[in-house]
């Protein structure tokens, strides 16, 4: 996981010179990776691939997915992206390409 953070940090350094933007974007990128990790742990536990550790109480995948969406929404807000519009475009694309797979 640390290598992913390092690569992400280097990409942001190349792309953004302004340290305020860099710090904020780096934090959001790390938040997304952290939330995605938690979602994947939940899926692994729910599907029986990897049980939860003993000291971890039963968690809620709904909450983990909501945390992930919140982090994505923060980035969308920063770049003034309307996620509802973009999400509808993606749904149309997937529905056209492979309607029986996702719906």
Tens of pLDDT, residue by residue over 26-80, are 788 888 998 999 899 888 988 889 887 776 666 788 888 998 999 899 888 888 9
The pTM assigned to this predicted structure is 0.66
Question: What are the structure tokens assigned to 4, written together?
Answer: 């992913």
> Per-domain residue ranges for the chain?
2-102
Structural contact between residues 64 and 39, judged by C-beta atoms closer than 8 angstroms: yes
Instruction: Annotate 16-49 with b (16+ C-beta within 10 A) or e (fewer).
Output: eeeeeeeebbbeebbbbbebeebbebbeebeeee
Alpha carbon distances (Å) from 68 to 31, 35, 49, 54: 8, 5, 22, 24
Select the more confidently predicted residue: 55 or 12: 55
What is the pLDDT, as a whole number, of residue 18? 52
What is the pLDDT, as a whole number, of residue 86? 95
- pLDDT band with cut points at 50, 70 and 90 for residue 8: low
């Amino acid at each position: 996981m640390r290598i992913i953070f390092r690569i992400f940090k280097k990409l942001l350094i190349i792309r953004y010179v302004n340290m305020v933007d860099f710090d904020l974007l780096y934090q959001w990128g790390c938040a997304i990776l952290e939330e995605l990790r938690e979602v994947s742990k939940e899926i692994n536990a729910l599907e029986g691939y990897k049980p939860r550790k003993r000291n971890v109480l039963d968690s809620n995948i709904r909450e983990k997915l909501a945390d992930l969406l919140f982090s994505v929404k923060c980035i969308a807000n920063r770049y003034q992206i309307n996620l509802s519009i973009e999400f509808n475009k993606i749904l149309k694309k997937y529905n056209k390409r492979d309607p029986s797979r996702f719906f």
